[in-house]
């Protein structure tokens, strides 16, 4: 699909009116893309409409951007700037007010050197959009990173998260019937050392940090030899570099339960401070998300659990030129998009055990 056709397809995505009814506990919804049913919850409606196949349009658009710009969407390149424009335009068409705050680059990150020749000085941009509805002191923040490494187009890492989040935002709409405001942030310069997310969190006042009830991170959620990981909110899955904040356990439970309800066995994975959740964990904000695995190797047990090849990386093209549109497990991506959509919808209506503002302020 070419650039122009991708844009036309996006125009057709209109925000849907979603029921906020939470009284009818419906069974697992079917996956057809039919109109929402009235007695589904907002979470179920969002998961039924923001599908992996719909999100794939955005993945193709990101691939096309990279292809026209030397095969990359890295920080400091035209491919990154066009990625910002694509995301901002799509959000505006869905009715959102969109900000693209500038972020200074340069030696401030704490991630390992990613190599390459990406810009290490100058500026980049985050993209931020929030629903006009819902409590602004109980914000559900969904975050992904919009940049690739210099070596490739970054379609699994993190085009998958970008496409999922963008589709979910478009389907939710800016005036969704939510209890808690939903904020969508597309971070710049993650691959330069979490630069965009660190600047974002540091730029918030203490009050504004406390207004964030939770952060859901989606980074690499479609690996071709992937698994179904949920970030470890309760400390049960190995050594975390940072202790997750209260409420992270509730996030892990909601996302795990959604996967299990759809017949997918999920496993915990520790926070290791190599994605945009890091600054939120450090700020003691409840944090979680799903992850398909990237450079790690799939074990025999994981291959038995999920299929795929034991002894091979989850994503053999991680940070390489071949992380392109062919580097996506479509069924896995579909289930991960479903889980993220469900999670955002669920927390937008009910904090599900994440501490409310009054208890966060008392920490």
Q: Is residue 115 packed enough to be buried (19+ CB in 10 Å), middle (13-18) or exposed (0-12)?
A: exposed
* Range 8-37, binding Zn ion (CB under 5 A): none
Angle in degrees, 0-180, between the axes of helices 160-172 and 52-67, rounded to the nearest 10? 130
Which residue number, 113 or 300, has a Cβ lying nearer to Zn ion? 113
Q: 105, 263, 87: which is closest to 184 by C-alpha?
A: 87
Q: Which stretch binds Zn ion (CB under 5 A): 82-90, 98-106, 157-165, 353-361?
A: 157-165
In angstroms, what CA-CA distances link 238 with 54, 265, 305?
35, 18, 19
Instruction: Tally Cβ neighbours within 10 Å of residue 118.
Output: 22
| Cβ atoms 103, 125 nearer than 8 A | yes
Cα–Cα dist 69/282, whole Å? 35
Backbone angles phi, psi at 195, to 5 degrees: -65, -45
From the CB of 272, what's the least distance to Zn ion, in Å?
12
**Residue 158 lies near Zn ion (rule: CB under 5 A):** yes
The structure tokens listed for 45 are 């409606």
**Taking CB under 5 A as the rule, which mask of x and - marks residues 208-237 in contact with Zn ion?**
-----------x------------------
User: Could you give the C-alpha distances from 333 to 31, 51, 70, 134, 348, in angstroms and in order?
Assistant: 14, 9, 26, 28, 22
Binding mask 43-82 for Zn ion (x = CB under 5 A): ----------------------------------------
- What the block records as the tokens of 211 is 């207004």
Among 157, 167, 323, 324, binds Zn ion (CB under 5 A): 157
Query: Taking the mean position of all CA atoms in its chain, how far away is CA 347?
Result: 15
Q: Is 333 in contact with 52 (CB distance < 8 Å)?
A: yes
Give least dist CB 253 to Zn ion, A.
Answer: 24
Give me the least distance between CB of 21 and Zn ion, in Å please. 36
Closer to Zn ion by CB, 86 or 277: give it.
277
Tokens of 71: 């095969």
Is 121 in contact with 341 (CB distance < 8 Å)?
no
Residues marked as catalytic: 190
Q: At closest approach, how far in Å is the CB of 145 from Zn ion?
A: 5
Give the integer Cα–Cα distance in Å for 344 and 58. 19
d(CA 86, CA 67) in angstroms, rounded, equals 15
Instruction: State the minimum distance, in angstroms, from the CB of residue 156 to Zn ion.
Output: 9
Residue 174 C-beta: closest distance to Zn ion, Å: 27
**Nearest alpha carbon to residue 183 among 132, 216, 140, 217:** 140
**Please, what is the Cα angle at 277 between 272 and 280, to 5 degrees?**
115
Interaction pattern, residues 117-156, with Zn ion; x per rule: CB under 5 A: ----------------------------------------
Site for Zn ion in 289-328 (CB under 5 A): none
| Smallest separation (angstroms) from Zn ion to the CB of 127 | 16
Binding site for Zn ion (CB under 5 A): 157-158, 219
């Amino acid at each position: 699909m070419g650039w122009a056709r991708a844009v036309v397809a996006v125009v057709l995505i209109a925000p849907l009116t979603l029921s906020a009814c939470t009284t009818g506990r419906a069974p697992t919804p079917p996956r057809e893309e039919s109109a929402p049913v009235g007695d589904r919850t907002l979470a179920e409606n969002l998961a039924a409409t923001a599908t992996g196949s719909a999100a794939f349009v955005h993945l193709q658009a990101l691939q096309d951007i990279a292809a026209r710009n030397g095969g990359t969407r890295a920080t400091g390149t035209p491919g990154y700037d066009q990625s910002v424009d694509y995301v901002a335009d799509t959000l505006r068409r869905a009715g959102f007010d969109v900000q693209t705050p500038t972020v200074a680059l340069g030696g401030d990150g704490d991630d390992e050197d990613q190599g390459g020749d990406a810009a290490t000085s100058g500026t980049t941009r985050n993209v931020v959009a929030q629903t006009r509805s819902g409590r602004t002191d109980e914000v559900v923040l969904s975050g992904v990173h919009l940049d690739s490494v210099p070596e490739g187009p970054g379609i699994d890492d993190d085009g998958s998260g970008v496409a999922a989040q963008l589709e979910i935002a478009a389907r939710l709409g800016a005036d969704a019937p939510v209890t808690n405001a939903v904020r969508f942030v597309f971070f710049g310069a993650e691959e330069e050392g979490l630069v965009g997310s660190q600047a974002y969190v540091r730029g918030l006042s203490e009050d504004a940090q406390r207004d964030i009830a939770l952060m859901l991170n989606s980074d690499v959620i479609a690996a071709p030899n992937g698994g179904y990981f949920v970030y470890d909110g309760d400390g049960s899955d190995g050594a975390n570099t940072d202790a997750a904040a209260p409420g992270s356990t509730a996030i892990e439970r909601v996302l795990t339960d959604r996967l299990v309800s759809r017949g997918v066995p999920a496993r915990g994975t520790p926070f290791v401070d190599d994605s945009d959740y890091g600054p939120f964990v450090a700020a003691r904000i409840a944090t979680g998300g799903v992850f398909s695995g990237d450079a790690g190797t799939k074990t025999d047990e994981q291959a038995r659990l999920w299929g795929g090849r034991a002894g091979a990386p989850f994503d053999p093209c991680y940070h390489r030129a071949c992380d392109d549109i062919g580097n996506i497990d479509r069924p896995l991506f579909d289930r991960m998009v479903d889980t993220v959509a469900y999670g955002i919808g669920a927390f937008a209506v009910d904090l599900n055990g994440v501490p409310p503002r009054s208890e966060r302020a008392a920490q």
